[in-house]
Structure 1
Amino acid sequence: HWRALLLLRLLTALHFVSEIICEAGIVYTTGSFYSPYAALFLLTIVSAALVYRLVGTLLVATAVNGAYVAVVWINYGLLTGRPTPGAGVGALTGGDDTLFYSTFLHILIFYLVAFIAGYLAQKLQAKDRLLDSASAELYRARLATGDILRHLNSGLLTMTGRGEIIFFNHAAETILELGGTEVSGRDCRAVFAGRLGPLADGLLTALASGQRTARREINIRDAQGRPLPLGISTSILFDTDGAVRGLIAIFQDLTQAKVMEERMRQADRMAAVGELAACMAHEIRNPLAAISGSVEVLRNDLAVAGDDEKLMSLIITETGRLNKMLSDFLMYARVDRTRFQKIEVQRIISDTIEIIRRHPSFSETMRIEVQADTGLTFISGDADQIKQILLNLAVNACEALGAAGGVIQFGAAAITDPDGERMVALTVRDNGPGIPIDLLDKIFLPFFSTKKKGTGLGLAIVSRLIEAHHGRVEVSSILGHGTEFRLYFQGLGGDDGPARHAVEADFVSAVR
C-alpha cells in the first residue's frame, strides 16, 4: 500500500514538473516577457492547490516562478551571454526598470494566487472533514435509531395531526398482518379500514382528546376473523405554540396476556371450588346413592307398571346423571397429582380406540382412522390422564357426529418447536358440523355446553389435564367441515427394545 501511495505521489509531482516545462516552452516561443500565455502558469498553480493544499501549492508556485525567471533570463541572454535578437540586454542592465518590475509583478501574482488557492483548498478540505464526520455521526445515529425501532417487539407508528401515517415499524406490520402493504404517507382511516377500524378510531380519538399520554385497550380482528385484543399507549406531540403536531402510538398483542389472566382467574376459582367440592362430595353423593338404591328396591319389591314404572326409571336415570356430573365436577376441581413417566403414544391411542368403540355414544355409522408415525413415539406424562384427555375428545367427536355418523381421526407426530425443543403433537379430528367461531373461546370454560344434556365439564377437564402436563391445546373448526383439536406435549427419545413390535401390533389391531 505504501509503495503504491509513494508511486502515486511521484507521478503527480512528475506531472506538475512536465506541465511547468511545457508552459515555460510556450512562453519562451511566444515572446517571453511579452507572451500572453504566462497565464497558463496560473492553471498549474490552481490545480496544484487541489492536490497539495497551501504548503505544496507555494512550493509549486516557487517552481513556476523559477521557470518564468529562467525563461526571461534566457530570452535576454543573462544565462547564456548571447541575447535573443532584438531582446536588448540593456533593458535589464540599463535604466529601464520595466522588465524588472514586470517580472517582479508576475512573481508576486503567482505567489498570491498560490496562497489564495492553497488557503481555500485547505479550508475546503477542513470543511469536507467536518462534513464527513458529521455525516458519519448522523449515519450512526440513524442506524442505531432505525435498528431500535425496527427490532422493537411492540408495534410503533407515528402520524401527523391530520391522521397521516409517517412511520410504521416491522412489528406493527406483523401484529396487524399488513405485510407488503404501503402504509407511510397514507391516511390512517384508509389503512386501518374494515377489521382494523377500531384502531383508527382509537388513534383519532387520542388526537382529538389532546391528552398528552393515554393508555387504552381495543379489540380488532385478525386476518382470519378471530378477536385480537390490543393494548395501545399514545403520546401527543405539541409544537412551541401548543398546537398538536402529531401522535406516537405503541401497541402490543394482548392475546397471550389475556390467556394468562384467564388462567390465573380460573386457578383462583378452582382453588375455592376444590375446597367446596371436598365438603360437598359426601353430602351430595351419599343421598343420591341412597335415593337410587331405595328406588331400585321399591321397583323390585312392588309390582309397578305404567306411569309408576316410568317415574321410577326417570328417578334412577336422573340420579345416575347427577352422580356422573358430580364425578366430572370433582375430577375437574381436584385433578390428581400428575405422575410423569415415559409413555408410548401409540399404545395410549390404541387403548383409547378400544374404549371408544364400546362407548354408548359410538355407533356403526362412525369410522375411526389413525395417522401416526410408524415408529414408536414417546411423551412425558401420566398415562391415565392422557387417556382421559383423548377419551373426552373422542366422546365429544362422537356426540358431534350423532346418528349421521362420520369419521373420527387420531394423529400423532414428533415435531420440533421454534426453540428447538422436541415435542409430540396429538390430534383428534372429526368431520362433523363444526363449532361457530364465536364459541371457540368458550368451549374450555367449565359448565359451558352446546348440548342439551351436556355437563360442560368434558373440555374443561381436558384443559386442566393438559395444563397439569405443561402442554398446550389448540382448536380449529370450520362450520360444515368439522373440528380438530391439537395437543402438544413434551417429547422423549424413543428406543428399539423388544416391546416395539408388540406395541405396534396392538396399535394396528386396535385401528382395525
Structure 2
Amino acid sequence: MTFVNEADSLSLPPADRLLKRQLHWLLLARVIVLTLLLGISALLGVEGKMFILPPLPYALFFIAGVYGITILSALVLRKIRQITAFAYLQVMADVVLVSLLVFFTGSSQSIFTVLYFFPVITAGALLFRTGSLLMACLCTLSYAIVLIIEYLGHFPAYFRYYRFTPITDYQSVLQHFAIPGLTFFLTAILSSLLSGRLRRTEAALSQTTRDYDRLAGLNKQILDDVSTGIITVDKDGRINSFNRAAEEITGFAAREMMGAALEAMLPGLSGGEKTAFRLTGDLTRKDGQKIPVGYSWTRLNLPEGSDNCRVYTMQDLSHIRKMEAQVQQAEKMATIGEMAAGVAHEFRNPLAAISGAAQILRKDLAASPASATQTLMNIIVRECDRLDGTIEAFLQFSRPSTPDRRWFALHALAEECLQLLHHKSDWDQTCPVHIAIPDKLEAYGEPDQIKQILINLITNACTAMEGTAGQIELAAEEKETPDGHDTLVLKVTNTGPAIADELLETIFEPFFTTRDSGTGLGLAIVRQIVERHNGTIQAANLPAGAGVVFTVTLPLP
C-alpha cells in the first residue's frame, strides 16, 4: 500500500476523500456498537443465564482487540492512499470480529448472529453492489464455518453452564445456514440498490447546489459589476439588497442600509409615481453632498405574492451633467470664435486709425505738454491699447491652439516674463516679484503658452495687491503623484487680500471679474492652457487670510 502525508490527502480524488470520511465514522461505530452490545447483553443475561456470554477475561480481551484494531486502522487511514482497498479490509475485519463474537456467544444459538447484516449493509453503502455481494458471500462462508465447527463438537467448555444444545446432524446445519445465508444476499441486493439510489440523489443534489451557487455567484457578480445602482425593498419599504454601485453613488455601505427604510435613508428616491420614463432628482449623499441622479423603479413579481416589493435602479448624472456643460461651453465658444473674428476685424481697423491719428497729434502738441488737448490724446492712445489687448485676449480664448510641447528652462522663462511685464506701459513698477525657481529645473510644455500662464497669474496677483505692501513669489518643484507619475508643481503666491471661498472656483469662469476695468478672460485663459496641457489649476487662501496661492500642476513624461 502507498502512504501519504496528512497534508497530501487533499490531493485525493473527491470520491476517495468522501470514502475516507465514511471510514472514520465506520471505525467509531464499530467501537460503540460492539461495546454497547456486549455490555447490555451482560446486564440482561446475568439472571437466569438467558444468553450465552463468554467469561469476563474473554470479553475484556475481545473488547481490547476491537479497540486495538480500530486505533491501528485510524492511524493507517491518515497515511494510506488506496482508500478503496483499505475499506474492503475494514469490512472484512468486521466480518471476522462478528464471526468470533458469534462463535464465543453460542454459535448457532448466539443472539449476535444479526450482526452479520452490518458488514453487508456497510459494504453496500461504501463499496456499492460488488462490495455488498462480496461481503454477503464472506458472511455466509464465515457463518457456515462457525456452524461446521459446532457440528464437529468444537466449542468452548463454558457452554455447558448454559442451556446449550449443539448441532449433531447435517439437516440441522442446513436449517441454521439456509435462511441467514439467503437473507445476507437479499440484504446485499437491497442495500446496494438503496445506496445506488441515494448516491444518485446526492449527486443530483450536489450538482443542483453547485448550479445554484454558481448562479448566485454570477448574479452577485453582475449586480456588483454593473455601473447602475440597484436597490430592492420589501413590502414595508425596507432595503433588502444594495449593490456596490449604489454604495459608490450614495456613500453608504450596504451593511448600513440593510433593513433601513428607503424613505428615511434616501428620501430623494422614495417619492414619485411609476412612469414609463426615467425620473431625475437630487440625492443627498452620506457626506452631505447633493448630486443629480436618474432613477426608475418597478414592482417585483415575487412567488410570495407580495405586490408592494420594488426594485430601484439609479445612476449618478454628475459626469453626464458635466459633459453636457462642456458640450454647451464648446458650442458657445465655437459661436464666440466665429463672432470674434468679425468683431476683431471691425474694431481693429478703426482703432488703428484712431490710435495712429492720436499719436501724430500728440507729437504735434509736444511743445505744450500741459495742454488739455495732449492729455486727451494720451487717454485716446491708452484706451486704444487697452481695447486692442482685450480683443487679443478674446481671440486667444475663443480660438485656443494645441500646445507644441518640449523641454525648456523654467527659471529663464520666468525671468523673460518679468522683463516683458516691466516694459509694459500699464505695469506697476513697484510690484515686487521674487523668483524661487531652481536654475536647473526644466518644464515640459509649449514655452509661449506657459509664458502666458505666468504673465496672467503675475498680472492678476499684482492687481490684487494694489494699495497694499506685499510681495509675489514664483516657486516650482517636481513631485511624484501617489500612482507614481512625475509632475511639475508651479505656485504663484501673493500677499494680497483673500478671495471669498465661494468664488475660488468661479474666478476661472470666462468673463467673470471683480474689477471695473477687467475683462474676465485672464484666469479663464490660464485654465484653458493648463487643461490643454492635461494639467490642473487651483486657487486657495493662505492661513489667516495672509494671501492667495495659485497652484498649477503639469504632467511630466
Does residue 130 of the first structure (1) align with residue 204 of the second (2)? yes
Which of 242, 252, 261 is the equivalent residue of 1:187? 261
CA contact (8 A) 1:215 1:234 kept: yes
The whole-number CA distance in structure 1 between the counterparts of 2:350 and 2:419 is: 34
Residue pairs, 1:146-185, within 5 angstroms: 146-178=220-252, 182-185=256-259
Residue pairs, 1:211-230, within 5 angstroms: 211=275, 214-216=278-280, 218=282, 223=287, 228-230=291-293
- Residue aligned with 2:516, SS: coil
- Residue aligned with 1:443, SS: helix
Does residue 70 of the first structure (1) align with residue 133 of the second (2)? no
Would the alpha carbon gap of residues 278 and 22 (structure 1) be closer, same or farther in structure 2, given more than 3 Å must change?
closer
Which of 210, 214, 229 is the equivalent residue of 2:274? 210
- Please give the root-mean-square deviation of Cα atoms over the aligned residues, in Å: 4.1
| TM-score of the pair, normalised by structure 1 | 0.75
CA contact (8 A) 1:28 1:71 kept: yes
* Cα shift at 1:52: 1.1
Would the alpha carbon gap of residues 287 and 389 (structure 1) be closer, same or farther in structure 2, given more than 3 Å must change?
same
Would the alpha carbon gap of residues 111 and 331 (structure 1) be closer, same or farther in structure 2, given more than 3 Å must change?
same
1:42 corresponds in structure 2 to 117
Would the alpha carbon gap of residues 319 and 376 (structure 1) be closer, same or farther in structure 2, given more than 3 Å must change?
closer
Does residue 269 of the first structure (1) align with residue 332 of the second (2)? yes
1:119 corresponds in structure 2 to 193
The one-letter code of the counterpart of 1:243 is D
Segments of 5+ residues of structure 1 without an aligned counterpart are 193-199, 493-512
Which of 378, 392, 400 is the equivalent residue of 2:456? 392
* Cα shift at 1:414: 5.2
Q: Deviations over 1:54-94 (max 9, x none)?
A: 331222122112211221222122999xxx9874555544x
Q: Deviations over 1:92-146 (max 9, x none)?
A: 44xxx6x644433322333333333332222222222222222222232233333
CA contact (8 A) 1:23 1:40 kept: yes
2:391 corresponds in structure 1 to 326
Greater Cα shift, 355-364 or 318-327: 355-364
Would the alpha carbon gap of residues 350 and 103 (structure 1) be closer, same or farther in structure 2, given more than 3 Å must change?
farther
The whole-number CA distance in structure 1 between the counterparts of 2:196 and 2:393 is: 90
Q: Deviations over 1:278-315 (max 9, x none)?
A: 22224323444555666674894897989999877766
2:11 corresponds in structure 1 to none
1:103 corresponds in structure 2 to 177
The one-letter code of the counterpart of 1:57 is S
* Cα shift at 1:458: 0.7
CA contact (8 A) 1:370 1:411 kept: yes
| TM-score of the pair, normalised by structure 2 | 0.70
The whole-number CA distance in structure 2 between the counterparts of 1:325 and 1:410 is: 28
CA contact (8 A) 1:427 1:486 kept: yes
* Cα shift at 1:339: 4.2
Would the alpha carbon gap of residues 433 and 164 (structure 1) be closer, same or farther in structure 2, given more than 3 Å must change?
farther
CA contact (8 A) 2:128 2:195 kept: yes
Residue pairs, 1:250-399, within 5 angstroms: 250-252=314-316, 254-255=318-319, 257-291=320-354, 297=361, 300=365, 318-335=383-400, 338-353=403-418, 368=434, 370=436, 375-381=440-446, 383-399=447-463
Residue pairs, 1:455-466, within 5 angstroms: 455-466=519-530
Would the alpha carbon gap of residues 32 and 338 (structure 1) be closer, same or farther in structure 2, given more than 3 Å must change?
closer
* Cα shift at 1:456: 0.7
Identical counterparts, % of pairs:
25
Structure that is richer in strand per residue:
1
Would the alpha carbon gap of residues 343 and 88 (structure 1) be closer, same or farther in structure 2, given more than 3 Å must change?
closer
CA contact (8 A) 2:535 2:555 kept: no
**Structure ranking higher on relative contact order (CA contacts 8 Å, 6+ apart):** 1
CA contact (8 A) 1:470 1:489 kept: yes
- Residue aligned with 1:244, SS: coil
Between structure 1 and structure 2, the one with the greater Rg is 2
Would the alpha carbon gap of residues 403 and 164 (structure 1) be closer, same or farther in structure 2, given more than 3 Å must change?
farther
2:313 corresponds in structure 1 to 249
Which of 124, 128, 132 is the equivalent residue of 1:53? 128
The whole-number CA distance in structure 1 between the counterparts of 2:306 and 2:100 is: 73
Greater Cα shift, 133-142 or 155-164: 155-164
Greater Cα shift, 317-326 or 361-370: 361-370
CA contact (8 A) 2:237 2:309 kept: no
CA contact (8 A) 1:345 1:379 kept: no
